[in-house]
Amino acid sequence: MSENENTDYEILSEDNSKSDLSFKLIVIGDSGVGKSCLTMKATKNIFENYYSPTVGFEFCTFNIRIKEKTIRLQIWDTCGQEVYRSLINSFYRNSSLAILLYSIDNIRSFNNLEMWLNDIKVNSNPSIKVFLIGNKKDLEEKRQVPIDKAKTFYKDHNIHLFLEASAKTGFNAQKIFIEAAKILYKEHLELDTKLELNSDKNEIVKLAQEGEIDLEDGIEPVKRKKCC
């Protein structure tokens, strides 16, 4: 386990068995952009220089404690090869967040982002969140995608977070998943609050129907009925 200096979270070991909340994440993008390497670096602190294309998908977890809750991210690392596209489309279902990768030294992988965003749109829940990651930041001398171009793309496409990262050096590798956990946890809390408010409202409506309170202006309670 590693304690973070910000103290608002703590990264737990991959085999941590208990979790309060669990979210499904999908990692997508062109073949060879570094999806598997970045996932491995973040979850196992391993980097392999040789290329071993993913066949279908690989699965791993990232466990983190935020405040008092233990959160498990179920990470589906997919293969980018065209031949598996229709298989991958079935993985989008029930995903809370898509991590969309391109490689900063490969303009083609950047130009294909629109196609990947379209796959997300067609196959996912409308509430899915998207992170855009420019991987292989260590290959600065081979850069083909200017960072400003990527920032413009991010702003134009309803994407929740943009980061450059490197699976090789580890730069921002864990940060991607920490931010994912934080954003999903925050959304979960907001949803809980809404549900609580709704159940409060339901209670108020019930009391009104039973004649316990008067309602004015929608379902806001205004005064209690006077007792005889």
Q: Which residues bind Mg ion (CB under 5 A)?
A: 35-36, 54
**In the bound complex, what is the minimum distance in angstroms from residue 81's beta carbon to ligand GTP?**
6
Query: Are 63 and 17 within 8 A, CB to CB?
Result: no
CA dihedral over 174, 178, 183, 187, signed as positive or negative: positive
CB neighbourhood size of 227 (10 A): 4
Q: How far apart are CA 211 and CA 225, in angstroms?
A: 8
Cβ closest to ligand GTP, residue 22 vs residue 81: 81
Q: Which stretch binds ligand GTP (CB under 6 A): 12-20, 28-36, 117-125, 153-161?
A: 28-36
- Identified binder of ligand GTP from the candidate list 11, 23, 36, 98, rule CB under 6 A: 36
Cβ closest to ligand GTP, residue 46 vs residue 227: 46
| Binding string, residues 58-97; x marks residues near ligand GTP by CB under 6 A | ---------------------xxx----------------
Q: Is 170 in the site for ligand GTP (CB under 6 A)?
A: no
**Residue 49 half-sphere exposure toward CB, CA atoms < 13 A:** 1
Q: Is 135 in the site for ligand GTP (CB under 6 A)?
A: yes
Q: Is 49 in the site for ligand GTP (CB under 6 A)?
A: yes
**In the bound complex, what is the minimum distance in angstroms from residue 37's beta carbon to Mg ion?**
8
Q: How far apart are CA 223 and CA 203, in angstroms?
A: 15
Cβ closest to ligand GTP, residue 24 vs residue 168: 168
Pairing of strands 213-215, 221-224: antiparallel
Q: Which stretch binds ligand GTP (CB under 6 A): 68-76, 118-126, 131-139, 184-192?
A: 131-139
Distances (CA, A) of 52 to 87, 89, 132, 170: 19, 22, 23, 19
Residues paired with residue 100 on neighbouring β-strands, in sequence order:
28, 132
**In the bound complex, what is the minimum distance in angstroms from residue 2's beta carbon to Mg ion?**
25
Q: Is 129 in the site for ligand GTP (CB under 6 A)?
A: no
Residue with tokens 């950047």: 110
Query: Are 120 and 154 within 8 A, CB to CB?
Result: no
**Token pair listed for 216:** 């004015």
Binding site for ligand GTP (CB under 6 A): 31-37, 48-51, 53-54, 79-81, 135-136, 138-139, 166-168
